[in-house]
């Protein structure tokens, strides 16, 4: 098991992409800290034979507390996967400022804070892996998702700058930019849009979500997890500062 002896913190690991990543890293031998806001993530931690830590990433003090508790529980974190996030759809001139601030805190500032708090230990050990889960909207734009798109673009920029700064310490930093992934969040969006548009759920997938994709299917969470696992392994030790699109060709246009 390639990651035996390593400790991985995965944020937003209670379901969807984060859950798949946590279980895959555990299968690779890592001790996994499963973070989520919802206590139901205890079950994922049990399956991963890891530790569950609850924290609200919208609160900066809670982010610091998460990092400190992760270190206290395990002695140090070797792998950080910044995955937690959420979406809110509004026209830009009606976007609630409080929602904007919360989205940037959870999806951009909190990843910066966790990197800041956990990197000193990685430097001391001369080894670290940071993987930021951005989005295809970290590489392109779309209407009505200004805050989400801004946060995901910022996460790619953070990835590139941190990679240049941390490479000499044996720490790699990369981003993954998926399009629509089959998660409970996306399944909920499909159902909601089907009701709003008065169409079948499969029509929402085909005509809305996959319209710009060359491969006409939703991405599975395990596909994202597989790339995270690769980027954390020794075969990827010279890969840093990259933003990998897993988007079925969406951003190739």
What pLDDT is attached to residue 144?
86
Q: 185-208 pLDDT, tens per residue?
A: 888 778 767 776 788 888 878 888
Local confidence band at 23 (pLDDT 50, 70, 90 cut-offs): very high
Report yes or no on whether pTM surpasses 0.85: yes
Residue 233's Cβ-count burial label (10 Å; 0-12, 13-18, 19+) is middle
pLDDT digits (tens, 9 = 90+) for 71-96: 999 999 999 999 999 988 889 999 99
How many other C-beta atoms can be found within 10 angstroms of the C-beta atom of residue 250?
Answer: 23
Of 117, 148, 180, 244, catalytic: 148
Query: Mean pLDDT, the chain, as a whole number?
Result: 94
Which helix (H) or strand (E) segment is 42 a member of? helix 42-48
Q: How many CB atoms lie within 10 A of CB 56?
A: 14
Which range among 131-135, 139-143, 153-157, 222-226 shows the weakest confidence by mean pLDDT?
Answer: 139-143
- Range with the lowest mean pLDDT among 65-69, 126-130, 187-191? 187-191
Lowest mean pLDDT among 7-16, 112-121, 178-187: 178-187
Q: What CATH class is the domain 7-180+220-246?
A: alpha beta
pLDDT at 135 over 90: yes
Residue 244 annotated in active site: no
Q: Is it the case that residue 142 has pLDDT exceeding 90?
A: no
168 class by beta-carbon count within 10 Å (0-12 exposed, 13-18 middle, 19+ buried): exposed
Residue intervals in the chain for CATH 3.40.50.720: 7-180+220-246
- Cα separation, 187 vs 171, whole angstroms: 35
- Given a contact cutoff of 8 angstroms between Cβ atoms, the answer to whether 70 and 128 are in contact is no
pLDDT of residue 50: 97
């Amino acid at each position: 098991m390639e990651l035996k002896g390593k400790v991985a913190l995965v944020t937003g690991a209670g379901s969807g992409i984060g859950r798949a990543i946590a279980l895959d890293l555990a299968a690779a031998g890592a001790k996994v800290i499963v973070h989520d806001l919802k206590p139901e993530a205890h079950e994922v931690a049990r399956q991963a034979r890891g530790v569950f830590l609850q924290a609200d990433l919208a609160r900066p003090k809670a982010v610091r507390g998460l990092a400190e508790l992760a270190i206290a529980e395990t002695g140090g974190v070797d792998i950080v996967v910044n995955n937690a996030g959420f979406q809110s759809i509004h026209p830009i001139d009606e976007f609630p400022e409080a929602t904007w601030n919360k989205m940037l805190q959870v999806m951009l500032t909190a990843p910066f804070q966790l990197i800041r708090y956990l990197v000193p230990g990685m430097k001391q050990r001369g080894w670290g892996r940071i993987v930021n889960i951005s989005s295809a909207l970290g590489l392109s734009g779309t209407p009505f998702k200004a805050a989400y798109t801004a946060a995901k673009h910022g996460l790619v920029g953070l990835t590139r700058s941190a990679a240049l700064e941390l490479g000499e310490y044996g720490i790699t930093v990369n981003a993954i930019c998926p399009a629509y992934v089959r998660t409970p969040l996306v399944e909920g969006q499909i159902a909601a849009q089907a009701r709003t548009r008065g169409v079948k759920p499969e029509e929402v997938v085909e005509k809305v979500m996959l319209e710009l994709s060359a491969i006409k299917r939703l991405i599975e969470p395990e596909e994202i997890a597989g790339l995270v696992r690769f980027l954390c392994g020794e075969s990827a030790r010279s890969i840093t500062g990259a933003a990998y699109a897993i988007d079925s060709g969406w951003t190739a246009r």
